[in-house]
Structure 1
């Protein structure tokens, strides 16, 4: 299990877009001033929590976590999210993300389902304190974002359970489209059991077939490793495309793999490029993602 979290390289830009100064956040969090300027940003659980507490302290917007967890531009989805969107259903997407979370951080996505309800929780495996509210909001907004992008609908959960005391209930009700239960014993987002079977309009078996084996191989390599520093880890889409030169394959192997992927997709006659265009991603970019993950 990796002991570090990867921070998206565009976080500073995203904070700026939402009126939050990255330098003020880092100062409040007690983190290095240039942390978010690094080409590859990794932090411990303690540093992650401090970072998101800093965001909460420096933003007057009570919905800051919800906005940071809601992505409107598909080109900013990372490879794990792309793989999730390529699955057949909402339930499969969450299973995919839960499994591959092991690649990138000490975090679990926990699913519990009965005849009527399906609950999703995030567990921080190395945490010594309660996670910041902003991080909780971001995680649940991210789940809803994947669900809505994938299903192509305005799906809403049955309810959202938050351990915190009541605050800004209307904002949360408006964002999630469901009742909010404050003072709960857990932080969880609750969907209908039947929601797990909702089909994804973004489903693409061919793209998943390209990405999934790479994740499986990375998962195998990362088992037993103690940090990102001993393995390649998963990189965000932007970083992957920018750091193609760091791919561990030789030039000959990269060329061969690219040819195999391209030829295989052409042989199947799939509407692959149309799918990628719908998500705002180029064919070339996806090939590079696959190569750099392998």
Structure 2
């Protein structure tokens, strides 16, 4: 889905066509979401509307697991945008996944991060904004599609190694049957773990000529979008993805941005900030978000924002808020309950 602005999302025709195949009329989804019928044909919706549409689909289908499996297997590739076609016609599964991660940047609000290590390939789903997290149905569809992509591209009944969801997803056994592996709910992160060996499998749908047409156009769109974003926004986005369990340094971030440490620091200075300041700002923002969720223990919050021990986190949080994480959580949860 191509982003029209920072908060406009194009819903592909394939989404509505998939719903129609499941016996769900698009106008029913619009009414359930409390949105005008024009969203079906509009050029774009806001992030909030996008999430509401997915929640409406979830409510109409009745069970997240069935909604995930039915829709992801019903979609018609030909009715999806160029960013999806470019993954389906990739050379092999690894190429397809890397293209998906890259071109997903054109499709807010989801963000994907892929890591290959040992026998595993782990793909983690994050959000471009910390204020809103997508509904469980959208999370499930996103991870299920990554496996479905491999199955369709290779023509093989591929299975995952592990699937992790942070929220309840309905019938877990049905999801385990679809993914072919154990499914964990209540996890800290939303992740799909694949067999790394499967990434070398060639795609029977590989189309070199089509890729030669699509890739330059998509790459130009992505480059233009990234140029429009300030360097501060880019750094903060990378930091939010990379905080868990460690402290990303300026060299790592600069490398991902394709520039030297010195160039990055110079550009940040032009925007009246520094790498150290942005790192502190991101940690502070993420700490407040995680603490507002009572399901996270304090020690987990410390780990998630890159502190090696809980005491260091306590000292930093006192500097930020003038109070301990525990007291801040109690006060803010109480205030939100009273509203």
TM-score by length of 2: 0.60
2:38 aligned residue? 34
Which structure 2 residues correspond to residues 100-249 of structure 1 after superposition, within 5 A? 100-165=103-168, 167-225=170-228
Which structure 2 residues correspond to residues 75-94 of structure 1 after superposition, within 5 A? 75-94=78-97
Give the C-alpha shift of residue 61 in structure 1: 4.5
Q: Find the residue that maps to 1:167 and give its secondary structure.
A: coil
1:50 aligned residue? 52
Give the C-alpha shift of residue 128 in structure 1: 1.9
Aligned-CA RMSD value = 2.2
Q: Find the residue that maps to 2:210 and give its secondary structure.
A: helix
- Identify unmatched segments of 5+ residues in structure 2: 230-339
Give the C-alpha shift of residue 15 in structure 1: 2.0
Select the structure with the greater relative contact order (CA < 8 A; seq sep ≥ 6): 1
1:3 aligned residue? 7
8 Å contact 2:12–2:79 — kept in the other structure? Answer: no
Deviations 1:1-32 (A, max 9, x none): 74322111343343233133433322332322
Give the C-alpha shift of residue 73 in structure 1: 3.7
8 Å contact 1:2–1:102 — kept in the other structure? Answer: no
Deviations 1:157-194 (A, max 9, x none): 11211112473112101211111112211111110222
Deviations 1:230-285 (A, max 9, x none): xxxxxxxxxxxxxxxxxxxxxxxxxxxxxxxxxxxxxxxxxxxxxxxxxxxxxxxx
Q: Find the residue that maps to 1:131 and give its secondary structure.
A: coil
How many residue pairs are counted as aligned between the two chains?
Answer: 224
8 Å contact 1:6–1:105 — kept in the other structure? Answer: no
Give the C-alpha shift of residue 43 in structure 1: 1.7
TM-score by length of 1: 0.69
Give the C-alpha shift of residue 90 in structure 1: 1.0
Separation in structure 2 between the aligned mates of residue 140 and residue 96 of structure 1, nearest angstrom:
15
